[in-house]
Structure 1
């Protein structure tokens, strides 16, 4: 039972960290979307695609260096390739919802496009969470993780020099 509880706690922490990075990414996404749309006058979906790409870059840094910093780092090229592939699928999901709402249902006021974009982000986030944790930022095998933790524990503490 104790083992199950520890696993659940890890999952809750992971979801919280993913949510924090993702929440900041949503703010970046919506901010860039509204800025690009209203300053440049680009059509809704084009402005949204630009915003999504900026948010993807922002999120990669947050996920790699905070949410999943303890995950396997040996295959960065593979990791980045998969991250971009799954992010592209998420981009299609997110902007497909926006496209359908805007051009299929005629919901094209600024409020309606923001709500539609937010809904698309929500649907795409479910896919991204599953794909990132399953395929991109894979957990290290337990033995390798224990070896790394043991090596970290035996490292001498850095010395501080007093000026």
Structure 2
């Protein structure tokens, strides 16, 4: 339970910074640059997700096993795409079903509700598939620059 609370705290701090990036970039793209709401949200999510990967890999889940950059990043991109689709679904529903077109609706449905639901999904998914527990069969530590130099993580490693 202590590890979960620790991970959630770090994930929350990284998420807060990335939320600010997402919010600012989406509003810049939508209100100042005139991009459509879905395009603006897509651009902002890509920028924020890049920062999120670095922060979560290097800090939030740095005690968890590494399974190779290619595998982790591929899964991270896929899961963030699902998170983006959740946010776009909320935003699209507000815009094209409810016909809510103001900046307040854009922020409420895209940046609060959509991002909030996507964040819950991403936290669960990162722990399950991207940043694995050291006991997981795919858990290895990269001891060199290439993927050939891996060794298993001791069972007790990664526990706080």
Superposition TM-score tier, normalisation by shorter sequence = 0.7 to 0.9
1:49 corresponds to which residue? 42
The structure number with the bigger radius of gyration is: 1
1:116 corresponds to which residue? 109
Equivalent of 1:58 in 37, 48, 51:
51
2:62 aligned with 1:69: yes
Measure, in 2, the Cα distance between the counterparts of 1:107 and 1:53: 24
1:122-150 Cα distance to aligned partner (Å, 9 max, x none): 1111111111000000011298245768x
Unpaired stretches in structure 1, ≥5 consecutive residues: 1-7, 150-163
1:85 corresponds to which residue? 78
The total of aligned residue pairs comes to 142
Unpaired stretches in structure 2, ≥5 consecutive residues: 137-151
Greater relative contact order structure (CA < 8 Å, 6+ sep): 2
The CA RMSD measured in Å over matched residues stands at 1.7
Summarize the alignment of residues 2-151 of structure 1 with structure 2, pairs less than 5 Å apart: 8-117=1-110, 118-141=112-135, 144-145=153-154
TM-score (norm 1): 0.82
1:159 corresponds to which residue? none
Q: Identify which range, 134-143 or 112-121, moves more after superposition.
A: 134-143
* Structure (1/2) with the larger helix percentage: 1
Q: Identify which range, 71-80 or 134-143, moves more after superposition.
A: 134-143
1:37-84 Cα distance to aligned partner (Å, 9 max, x none): 122101111111111111110100110000011111242211111111
Query: Is the Cα–Cα contact under 8 Å of residues 26 and 41 in structure 2 kept in the other structure?
Result: yes
